[in-house]
Amino acid sequence: MNTIESFILYSFIIITLVLTIFIIVVTCWKIMKENQRLKKRKQIEVKLEKEMLFNRKELKKTSFFQEFYEVLKETDLKKEYLEKLEPVIPTLTNTFKKKNLAFQSYYINFLNQYPYLYEKDENTLSYLKNSVTSSSIYVRDNALKAIFKTKNIKRMKDALTKLNEYSKTHPKKLMTELFINYTGNKEELVDIILTIFDTLKEEYKVAIVNFFSYDNISRENFLLKKIADAKEEKEVRLACIRYFQKRKDKRVLPYLYLFIETEEMDWEYSSISALTLKSYPSKKTTEILLSALESKNWYVRNNAAASLVFLEEPKKLKELLKTNDYYIKRSLYYQIKKQGKVV
Amino acid sequence: MMQSIFYWGSLGFLIYMMSDALFFLIFGCLAFIKNESVSNKEKLLQEIKEKSFIPVSIIVPITKNSLLVEESLSTIKNQLDITYEIILVSEINLESLKEMIDESISFTKVDLPYEEKIKTKKITEIYEGNLSGVPVLLVKKENGGKSDAINAGLNVSHYPYVFIVSPNRILKKDTLSKFMKKVLEEENTLCCMGNTRYKKIENNKEDKIRNYFKNRVESPKYLTKKKNIFLSPMCALYEKKMLIKIGGFSPKIKEDISVLLRMYQNCKKEKKKFLISVIPNIKIVSLTRKKELIMEKIKRYMGLAYLMWQAKTVLLFQYGISNVFLYFYYFLYELVKPIIVLLGIIVLILAYCNNIFHGVFLLIFFVFYILIQLMVSSLFQYELEEK
């Protein structure tokens, strides 16, 4: 073999050897790690069973804490025993706040399962408040939940304000869920939210209005004002219109009619208004919906058809189907079939 | 003179094969490390409830050559508790399609109004049905190819995200929820894809030995985290608004893989932040038969050639340094690889016949080449078995 051939072969042999070593090391490392984990788990299970206390040093280790929390989730322990962990929390917070975001999220998740462990610890509360502006959605979400678990209105307001100032936007569905799952006095929560409502980002305002809708919270006057306010963000006004589909209030009707009649301004208002009118049967509603059926916009036409089919008697629908307009006919037929009406 | 050509030709070919193995090794190890770190992180993160996810439309373009539709649909319909609809777009008639899917499903013809946001061949009929509680739209249209079928699916879809999946892909129960979780985590996600493994099936039996070799890691995916425009976009999740903005998939070519490039161009023009994410722990299995595999490969090469031509400005560093590297990588190690390999083997045989290289040397060389591929594949084998 000449030099080049030898060089190629030796290179290949070296690469294969390195790879073999890599695979062996990885496999051994994995097996070792799993064995250690199981050993730790057994120790923790025994200690928890006997309701023995854990020392700070042990709990400060991330791998130990992870196993500890996993066992804790599966064990039904008395509050009295868990309360003994309270003195350790400041140390744990100080240690874990320097760890990576995934672990921080894990730790905050642990905290929000046991709010009595941190509600008096200012250090942890301040850490939670700062975590509201973390770049990780999980840290943010857990921190918000943990703060809401304390049921302290001022703290909740501060957290929301801080979150609002952060450049990233927390998903609105998670925000709505956070409000819905609040276990304290909801009226108090609503009042505090409304004091900062106007300063909030569009997404958060929508989340709040959706929360009012889902939880059937009565704030009609406030929301009517928002619909009337042309300076209010579009998505917020649309969410407010949707709110009146569930919670009926005839005072919204003039706005709904106006949005449909002035469709050129923005078809989205007309489209949502047409759908909301489903909850307000009247002669005028039918008239307006019939005019919306002739809209150039597909969404407006389709929603108007949905409301008309829902509100009208089969006889009236039969009459409507006599129209020569292909698009009206198509929308009506589709909705009739979808809603299972017999015409 | 000829001796010299054979010598340098075969030497070049051997170096090419060696570099191919080396890249495979580096990318494979990177993929393994990334996968491990993602799995470890996932253990720490609590699950976000599926009801918080954004709803999604799954578009399945079915052609008359699609063979494993029923197997694929049985996994698509079983996704975790997440709001989604399935849109089957096909050019074949309802009866033949029902044979492919499941004859017991009843479909009702509906006159569904929809907005034609992307121009496609005419949709002739739309049916509504239900697959284990999941709403299904069956769209029958005039013949226009796979891309046109996807565009038609986009037009009739209801949700802000679309997941495009070929009818030979097998999904895990949590595939869709993992995709949507990513969308929730990163608000600028435009496209999201997983890790596709190929399983070749002959006479309903899995060819295990062949699959072991065939499952090369889709390694370069792991090199550029967020803006790789050369990823195969046929089994991926997209933001519908953006897909419509760029005019959907181009029906000009059989397999349009230039979608990501156009998305990149659009975002650059509008100075919009965006993400193209690869989620390593989403495993999608592609079931293929020999006949299909050859056709798929031909389509892929045609699509890649089209993309290379479209993306030639990549070489001017307009899309970042990593894409320049990837341009060369995909060109050398994917697009022209069959030609290089064919020519290389011919030259190598001639070189051997002319006593330029020792037979033993060549034998040891290829044994090690296969060995490296086999070992890297074995790093991922446990994931395959998981399915």
Domain at A288, CATH number: 1.25.10
Distance from CA of A185 to the nearest CA of B (A): 24
Could you list the residue range(s) of the whole structural domain that residue A290 is in? 252-343
SS (H, E, C) chain A: CCHHHHHHHHHHHHHHHHHHHHHHHHHHHHHHHHHHHHHHHHHHHHHHHCCCCCCHHHHHCHHHHHHHHHHHHHCCCCHHHHHCCHHHHHHHHHHHCCCCHHHHHHHHHHHHHCHHHCCCCHHHHHHHHHHCCCCCHHHHHHHHHHHHHCCCHHHHHHHHHHHHHCCCCCCHHHHHHHHHCCCCCHHHHHHHHHHHHHHCCHHHHHHHHHHHHHCCCCCHHHHHHHHHCCCCCHHHHHHHHHHHHHCCCHHHHHHHHHHHHCCCCCHHHHHHHHHHHHHCCCHHHHHHHHHHHCCCCHHHHHHHHHHHHHHCCHHHHHHHCCCCCHHHHHHHHHHHHHCCCCC
Q: For B299, which DSSP code? A: H
In this structure, the answer to whether residues A67 and A128 fall within a common structural domain is: yes
In a domain, A144, yes or no: yes
Residues making up chain B, counted from first to last: 387
Q: How far is B104 from chain A (nearest CA, A)?
A: 21
Q: Which residues pair with B285 in a beta bridge?
A: B170, B197
Give the distance from CA A325 to its chain's centroid: 43
Structure tokens at A158: 């501060």
Instruction: Decide if B367 touches A, using CB distance below 8 A.
Output: no
**Min distance B195 CA to chain A CA atoms (Å):** 21
The answer to whether the CB atoms of B46 and A105 lie below 8 A apart is yes
Residue B384, pLDDT > 60, answer no
Q: Is A33 on the interface with B (CB under 8 A)?
A: no
Q: Considering the domain boundaries, does residue A314 fall inside one?
A: yes
Residue B228, pLDDT above cutoff 90: no
Q: Which residues make beta-bridge pairs with B134? A: B131
In a domain, A287, yes or no: yes
- The partner residue sitting opposite B45, judged by closest CB among A102, A173, A330, is A102
pLDDT at B99: 76
B2 pLDDT above the threshold of 80: no
Residue at B271 is within a domain: yes
Residue B205 DSSP label = E
A104–chain B Cβ distance below 8 A for any pair: no
Backbone angles phi, psi at B232, to 5 degrees: -75, 120
pLDDT band per the 50, 70, 90 thresholds, residue B254: low
Inter-chain residue contact B110 with A338, CB threshold 8 Å: yes
A243 and A286 both lie in a single domain: no
Mean pLDDT of chain A: 89
B339 domain residue, yes or no: no
A290 touching B (Cβ < 8 Å): no
Does residue A69 sit in the same domain as residue A134? yes
Mean pLDDT of B366-379: 77
Interface touch A334/B111, C-beta < 8 Å: yes
Low-confidence ranges of chain A (pLDDT < 70): 1, 263-264
Asked if the structure places residue A23 within a domain, the reply is no
Domain finish residue from A195, A225, A247? A247
Q: How far apart are CA B243 and CA B254, in angstroms?
A: 18
Chain B residues within 8 A of A25 when measuring between CB atoms = none
Average pLDDT of chain B to the nearest whole number: 80
CA dist A278 and A246 (Å) reads 10
Longest dimension (CA), chain A: 98
**Which of A11, A19, A214 to mutate: most B Cβ within 10 Å?**
A19
Asked if the structure places residue B301 within a domain, the reply is: yes
Is residue B217 very low, low, confident or very high in pLDDT (cuts 50, 70, 90)? Answer: very low
Same domain, A213 and A277: no
| Least confident segment among A220-234, B35-49, B58-72, B331-345 | B35-49
**Structure confidence at residue B369 as a pLDDT band (50, 70, 90):** confident
Structurally, how many domains does chain A consist of? Answer: 3
* B52 touches A at CB < 8 Å: yes
Give the domain CATH number at B271. 3.90.550.10
Candidate from B110-124, B199-213, B281-295 with smallest mean pLDDT: B199-213
Q: For residue A322, is it within any domain?
A: yes
* Residue B212 clears pLDDT 70, i.e. is over it: no
At B252, is the pLDDT very low, low, confident or very high (cuts 50, 70, 90)? Answer: confident
A81 touches chain B (CB under 8 A): no
Residue of B13, B20, B46 to mutate for A, most A C-beta atoms under 10 A: B46
Strand B134-141 with B161-164, pairing? unpaired
Cβ pair B85, B134 in contact under 8 A? yes
Residue B255's pLDDT is 67
Whether residue A94 is found in the same domain as residue A126: yes
- For range B358-379, the mean pLDDT: 79
Instruction: State whether A190 and A124 are in the same domain.
Output: no
What whole-number percentage of chain B has pLDDT above 70?
Answer: 86
Q: Could you tell me if B25 lies within 8 Å of chain A, comparing CB atoms?
A: yes
Out of A105, A171, A330, the one facing B111 most closely (by C-beta) is: A330
Asked if residue A231 and residue A315 are part of one domain, the reply reads no
Vertex B224: Cα angle to B222 and B225 (nearest 5):
75
Strand B161-164 and strand B236-239: pairing? antiparallel
Task: Give burial (CB, 10 Å; 0-12/13-18/19+) of B95.
Answer: exposed
Looking at per-residue pLDDT, the higher value among B386 and A179 belongs to A179
Q: Are residues A237 and A290 in the same domain?
A: no
Domain boundary among A182, A215, A247: A247
Taking one residue from A and the other from B, the number of pairs with CB-CB distance under 8 angstroms is: 98
Backbone dihedral region of B133: left (phi > 0), alpha (psi from -120 to 50 degrees) or beta? left
Asked if A12's CB is within 8 angstroms of B365's CB, the reply is yes
Determine contact, residues A331/B113, Cβ cutoff 8 Å: yes
Domain assignment present for residue B1? The answer is no
CB spacing of B375 vs A109 below 8 angstroms? no
Q: How far apart are CA B288 and CA B278, in angstroms?
A: 23
Chain A residues touching B125 at Cβ < 8 A: none
Domain that holds residue B75: 53-316
Average pLDDT of span B224-253:
79
Residues A293 and A309 occupy one common structural domain: yes
pLDDT band at B186 (very low <50, low <70, confident <90, very high): confident
- Which residues are registered as beta bridge partners of B348? none
Greater pLDDT, B58 or B283: B58
Cα–Cα distance list, A93 to A88, A328, B40 (Å):
9, 63, 21
- Report the pLDDT value the prediction gives residue B34, as an integer from 0 to 100: 74
Q: Of B178, B172, B175, whose CA–CA distance to B45 is shortest? A: B178
State residue B385's pLDDT score: 46
Adjacent-strand bridge partners of B131: B134
pLDDT of residue B297: 78
Q: Of the residues A224, A247, A270, which one is the last residue of a structural domain?
A: A247
Which residues from A are below 8 Å from B181, CB to CB? none
Mean pLDDT of all residues in B179-196: 85
Q: How confident is the model at residue B308, as a pLDDT?
A: 85
* Residue of chain A whose Cα is closest to the Cα of B368: A12
Put simply, whether B46 touches A (Cβ < 8 Å) is yes
Q: Cβ–Cβ of B52/A302 closer than 8 Å? A: no
Instruction: Give me the phi and psi of B364, to 5 degrees please.
Output: -65, -40
SS3 letters across A23-71: HHHHHHHHHHHHHHHHHHHHHHHHHHHCCCCCCHHHHHCHHHHHHHHHH
Q: Is the pLDDT of residue B221 over 70?
A: no
pLDDT, residue A74, reads 83
Do residues A241 and A261 both lie within one domain?
no
Pair A330, A264 in one domain: yes
Residue B199 zone, left/alpha/beta (φ > 0; ψ -120 to 50; rest):
beta
**Tally of structural domains, chain B:** 1
